[in-house]
Structure 1
Amino acid sequence: MSENHSRIVEVLLQGLPFTLAATLGGIALTIALSLAAGLAMLSRSKLARAVSRTYVEIFRGTSEVVQLFWFFYALPVLIGFQLVPLFAGIVVLGLNHGAYGAEIVRGAVRSVPKAQVEGAIALNLSPAQRMRRVLLPQALVEMVPPFNNLFIQLLKGSALLSFIQVQEIVQRGQSLVPVFGPDIGFIYAVELVLYLVLALMITLVMRVLERTSARRVGRTPMKVRAA
C-alpha cells in the first residue's frame, strides 16, 4: 500500500467512531420508539393510537434529509438553542427509523396466534403480564429479521450526517477528495468496505439474537433467515 493510500485509510478510520456513535445511538432510540409507538397502536386508548399513528405517518411520509435539516437548522431558531450535530443526527435517525420499527412491532405482536392470547387470559394474566410474558417473547422472534434490515438501513442513513458536518466516514472521505483526487476510486472503495463490515456485524448480532429468542420460546428459526 502506498503512502497516499495509508493516509487515506487512516483519515477514514478517524470517522469510524462518529459513524458507530450515530448508528448505535440511532439503534437504541429506534428500539425505544418502535416499542412505544408499536404497542401504543395496539392500545385500547384512542388517544394513544392517534398520537402514535400521527408520529408514524409524519416520519414515514417525509424526507429524512429534510427532517435532518429541520432539526439542525430550523428547530434552533424556534427554541434558541443550537443542537450538537451528532446529537441532532442521532435524534433524526431514531425518530425516522422508529416510525418504521413501530409497524414491525405492531405486526409482530398481531402475528402471535390467538390461541396463545386466549390461554394467557385463561390463566388470569393481566394485560401487562400477557404482553410481557406471552406476546412479546413470541413476537420478538418475528421482529428480529425485519429489524436487522432496518438497522442496516439506519447505518447507511448515518452518511446523511455529513450534510451537517458530522465528522463521520463519508464526511472524512469528502475532505480527502480535493487533496487525493487521483485516488478517488480508492477513497470510495474503502468507504464501501467499512460500511459492508459494519453491516455484516449488525447481521451477525441479529442472527444470534434471533436464534436465542427462538430457543427461549421453543422454536427454530427458518433456514432461509439464516442463509
Structure 2
Amino acid sequence: MAKSSKSEKSDRRQVIDDIRRKQKSAEKRQGMAIVGVCIAVALIIVGVAAYNPVKTAIQKARYSGTPLDEIGAKAGACQKVETKVATGSGEHVPTGTQVTYDEAPPAFGSHWNEAGVAPDPAANRFYTADGRPELESLVHNLEHGYSVLWYDETAADDTSEVAAIKAIAATLDENDTNGRLKFKAVPWTKKDGKAFPKGQHIALTHWTQDATTQEQLGVWQYCSEVSGAAVEKFMLDYPFTNSPEPYVP
C-alpha cells in the first residue's frame, strides 16, 4: 500500500532534520578545531616572546654574587684603548635637535641639556632598544664622567651577552654607595650610525679632561664580547673625576 502524503512529508522532514544535525555537528567540530589551532598559535607566540627574557633572567641569575671582573669574558676580548681630541663641552643644542656624531659610538660632542632628560638620570643603568635615551642625552652623561657600555645588535640577540651586561650593570649599582660608579649600558643600532669595527660587538666610551692641561679626549675600547674585567679596568683608568663636569649627577 502506498504511503500517505502525510507520512511522506514526515519522512522527508526526518531526513532533513538528520542532515541539519550532521551539519551542525560538523560545524561545531570545525569551530572547535579552529579555536584549538588559534590557542596553539597564541601559545607559541607568547612562548617565543617570553623565551628570551626568561632565558636571559636565568643566565643573569648565575652571576649573583659574582665579582665584576669574573662576569663575562676575560679582558683579552677587548682591543687596545683608542683616544681622540674631544670637542663639544658645554655646547648645548635644543632638545629634539639631532646631532650627527662622526664616531660609532660617540664619546664626546654637542648635546642636549634638559633636567631629567639630558643627562639621563643616574638611576637607570641598563637599557634595551625600546627605551634607550637619545644619543644627545647620553653624550651629556659622558660629559659628566659616565662610562658607557654600548652593545650592538649582534650582542643584543645573544641572551648570554645580555645577561652578562645586565649583571655588570646590577653589580655596579649594588656597589655604588657614593654615586661615583657612573655607568650605563645601552644598545647601538643601525639607525644610530655606522657599525663597530669588524668582529667587535661591545664598545666602552668615556670623555676625559686632564686636570693640569685641560686637554679633553674621547676614549674608546672595543670588545668582541662583554667583559666585566675590562669594564672594571676601564673605569679605574678613566674615573668620573677626569671628565669635563665630574661633580654633576
TM-score in terms of structure 1 length: 0.21
* Higher normalized helix content (fraction of residues): 1
TM-score in terms of structure 2 length: 0.20
